Structures are given as structure tokens and as C-alpha cells.
Structure 1
């Protein structure tokens, strides 16, 4: 080891297997760990994700992993990864990314001392409970990783953390990016001084209420709620369409509002809520989310920004951010590489990560320092 420093590895020597979907963030994580340990060692292990012309694939490791503490990092939401199948460019979907995680565990062949899977966007997290005759994908996926020999799973802002009950004997850590998001907002929005009386946190639906209450409590501001009134007699794209968003909360006139949610898919709900808030004469509408997909493109968000309906959207880089999105004036990425590096570094040394599970204290410190 460089610089004549010796570290104890209770779980084995650290090894990062960063799949193609997580490559950019994985390189940053490796650099952060090098800085924290003051070493030049490269913790990234080479991995080949091979696709044959008929679409079948395999994963190949070119270095030994025997006795190492292995962390497999994958972004199952990265739709930019492509391969040729029957001469056609095909984009990897979540199913293929998850299959590559399993292939990687298979390639390790039980030689590692410990295997941890870091999947910030939990695979099939929206399919976490059964309502009638339908698949229970998230629970099945977690059980499959357990059977393959994975000892620990790390994810962020799981749609329903209770899904971990499917693997009661496996270590399952659900982390939240609240501190990093708020730190970025405070840094970027110079006009916001927290806590402030003319500010509210808004939950876009009843399911996100716990998240909104947490944001409001650490910020010391009020909370409001939008209730989604749906047409249960109709199903469009697998779900009941929203008829109207009903607001419950105090007056938002001349208030800065922060809408918080775990993900933005098409973004229709967020935009409808932003429009309702502006009709109620809200001052600025900010959106903070863990995962931003923009499955129906950026055009409508751009229009709402141009029309002064939304002020800014904040989202982590835990899932793929397109170059087009990064260039927009209304979007700001929240870099999570340092937190992930800290978590991996501590777990490798068998140190507790409990204080990173609840960010209340550091958020209060952040706000005190700003004021």
C-alpha cells in the first residue's frame, strides 16, 4: 500500500465493481476514497459486460476477487447504455441491468469475503406490493440476490422500505439524500435564507407525506398536501388517471414552496401541482427529488420554466442525467459521490453508518452555519 500506510480490512481488501451504468459516479467514488485514505490505490476492479448479437450477455472479471470486500454498483435506471442486437441499437432497461448484477455475483463464484450490492434506484421499487393478480417483482428480486450470496443491499429513498421484510435475515440499508439536496439548494438559491416564515414544503400526494413532514421539521417551516383525486373507473397506461389535485394547507400567496418527492417520472403531477400553486399566487416553486427520469422529455418543463411556473428542479445523480438535462437553466444536479464513498469506506472498516441514516443533526448544523 502506498505512503507506507497500513489499514485493517475487517471484511477483506476493498474492491469496487462498477458496472457500465454507474461508471461516471463510480470513478468519483473511487477518487473520494483515495483522498480519504490518502493513498493512490485504485479500488476499481476491471469488468467486461459482454453482449452477443442475439441479445444474450455475460459478465467477465479479469482480476481475482478472492478474499475481497466487494461492492457492486449499478444504476438500473440508466437508459443510455446500448448494445447491438440483430444489427439494431438496443437500449438497456432495468431488467437487463438487474440481470448484469446477478451475472456479476455469478462471476465472483463465492470467492469474495463479502458482497454488497449498491443499487441507489431499487429495482422494481414501484412494484412492491400486490393488488390482485399481479407480480411482486421487488420482493422476488431481493430474495434472488439473497440466494446468490449477497450479504448486504444499499439503496436510496425506496418507494416503500417495508419491502425489506421479504429478506428479514439480509442487511438492507435505505439511505436518504435530504442533507445533500438541501445543501445544494442553499448554495444555489442565494435568495433563500432558512428558516423563513414565507416558505412551505409541499407533499404532492399522501404517499409522500412522511418525506414532506421530515423536510418541514428540519427546516422549521409549515407543510401542505395535495390529494390526487383519481378516476377509478378508467385505466390508462396501467393506472387510474388523475382528475384533479386538491390542496390542503395554509395560504401559499407570496410564499416560496418546495415540492418534495422520491421520483419524477413523466412529471405531469409535479407540473400540475406547480400550476395550481402559481394560480394560488405562490412566489417561487422549487422541486426536490431523489430520482429524475423525465420519461416524456424536457419540453414541458422548459415551457413551465419559461412561463415562470417552476423556478428550479433539484435531483441527485444517483440515476442517469442526460447531457441535455444538465444544460438546462432550470435543473441542478445533486452530487452524491462523496456520501457513497464515505458509506463504502466505513462499511469496509466495519464502522457504523448509523449517523448517516438520520441527517437531522447535520442539517441543523448546515442551517446554523448559513445564518
Structure 2
């Protein structure tokens, strides 16, 4: 087996390799003066089971450039005789547009899937995508991981034994919230209530005020796949506060945050918990309300199981 991590993802890659008790395999990434680049493995990949880790978010490179570098490196490995190449993309960009909502809209999730297939990618591994059904339809050979079991201890730490309600900031996220509900109930033996806020977005204008569920006097955990500007989290937190929530905690897998993100300053949100799936654009300790859960153990175990032919289902749904 070979494990590579491209520049910008090497910190997470090193953490994954450490969990696997191996070292990252060396590679070269060379920049040309006109902005082009090349990359190549510095060890033989012929006949090897190759895993390439690269998350598709993080300064200074754009998601598009990160994707292109990952595709080029995968193609290089296949051209040099790799038996199998798996792309490990903790955050998979361009998944927001998974259907046509307006005339002539792009469906970028499908286009990205076609690009991975075109360069010979055998499998794409990622964590918590925007729309599970659309992802599974677009990516024919994929492994979708989830952070729900890793989030359970943090939730227990935040809410203790009091009444807790899990909240989805929109209708599309209710499946994600139910998965966390199942994980929490299985591990803690505690029943958890659910709530949801209506949300419609058009031309970056968000509407919808229907709130389903009872959060009065409860500790609330709002769950989403990502936090970018933070507007969705703040909108949901305010709705929960207006309905009598005692504490409000925001939780998301992918922290596409900048220091300008609204959620970092909103008084309605007590804490924010994210995973290490993307590198933060600021120091972790810059904001006291922000906590980061390491996703390296999940990725390391998934890679080991995929290499050995083990069960990913058992990883995501551990037996009590």
C-alpha cells in the first residue's frame, strides 16, 4: 500500500499515517513560474494499492486548483502502473449544485464524478456530503463516511444529562440529523428529540420561517454538513432562542470558515464544533467558542479496511 498527501493536506495526511503506524510516501510538487505545476510520486507505485489524500478546501489555493492537482496526481499514478487508486477527499468540493433548480443550471456534482472516472480513479472516499442521494447517484464507486459517532462524546460533554434537541437548519439535512440521533441513542441510551427550520434559498436570499419541534428549555445542537459564512447557523440559532432554547451549540463536519464568518461572533451561539476535514484559515485557539474534532482516526480506519477488504458498514455502525 502507498499513502500520499498533497500539499495543503499534508498535516491531516501525517495524522492519518500516524494513526496507521506508517509514514506518508514521498512525492514532488513543483511550481512553474507561469502558475502551472507538476507532481509525481517519488517511490514506485507499480502494482500498489494507492491512496491519495487531499481535501478540496483551504487557502491559498481554490477548490478548483486543489481538484485539478488531485486529478493530475491520480492520473500519474495510474499511468505508472498502480493497481488501484483511491482518492481520499475529506471535504469534496462542488457538491452544492447537485440538481437543476433553474433553467440551464449546472449539475457540478455529476461533472466532478465524471472527472474522477476519466483519470482512472477506482474509488472516492469522503465525509458528510451535502446531499447523500445525489452523491451516490453521481459517484458510482464511492465510500461515504460520517462524523456522527465522533461527535457523540462532544455532545455529551456540552449538554450533560439535560434535555437535548437536535435541529436541522433545513429540510434537506433531516437525514443527517437522524443519523446523529441514532448514534447518540445507541451509544448513550438516551432518547433525543428532533426539530427543523424551513429554509429556501434563491439568488443567495434565504426565506422560510416555519419551525417544527419544541426547543423550549432545552439544550439545542444544530447540525449541518458545513459552515461557510455562518448565516444559516445564526439564522437557526436565533429561531431556537426565540422559542426558548436554553443553550445553542452549532456543529458541522466541514469548517469553511474565515475570521469574517458570522457564526464566530453571534451571541446566539454558545459553541461551535467542527472536524479537521479542512485546514482552518486561522489559529485554532483564536476563537474560544470553536472546538475541532479530529477526523484522522475515521479516515485511517477506513483506509485500512478498504485496503484489507474489511467492512465500512461496521465502521460507521459499530456494534454495541
Query: TM-score under structure 1 normalisation?
Result: 0.78
SS of 1:21's partner is: coil
Change beyond 3 A, Cα 1:167–1:256: closer
Alignment of 1:154-193 (within 5 A): 154-161=125-132, 162-168=134-140, 171-186=141-156, 188-189=157-158, 192-193=160-161
Change beyond 3 A, Cα 1:142–1:289: same
Q: Following superposition, which runs of at least 4 residues in structure 1 exceed 4 angstroms of deviation?
A: none
Q: Which runs of 5+ in 2 are unaligned?
A: 186-190
Aligned mates of 2:200, 2:9 — CA distance in 1: 37
**Deviations along 1:319-360, whole A, 9 cap, x unmatched?**
12233344311011010111111111122122222212335x
Contact preservation (8 Å) 1:139, 1:164: no
Q: Does 1:350 align with 2:309?
A: yes
Alignment of 1:40-119 (within 5 A): 41-42=22-23, 44-79=24-59, 91-108=60-77, 109-119=79-89
Q: Which runs of 5+ in 1 are unaligned?
A: 1-13, 35-40, 80-90, 366-371
Contact preservation (8 Å) 2:50, 2:86: yes
Select the structure of larger CA radius of gyration.
1
Who is 1:291 aligned against?
254
SS of 2:210's partner is: strand
Query: TM-score under structure 2 normalisation?
Result: 0.90
SS of 1:320's partner is: coil
Who is 1:139 aligned against?
110
Q: Does 1:339 align with 2:298?
A: yes
Contact preservation (8 Å) 1:185, 1:314: no
Who is 1:9 aligned against?
none
Deviation at 1:277, TM superposition (A): 1.6
Length, aligned pairs only = 311
Q: Does 1:275 align with 2:275?
A: no
Deviation at 1:178, TM superposition (A): 0.2
Change beyond 3 A, Cα 1:57–1:358: same
Deviation at 1:125, TM superposition (A): 0.7
The structure 1 residue matched to 2:177, chosen from 186, 202, 212, is 212
> What's the RMSD between the two structures over aligned residues?
2.0
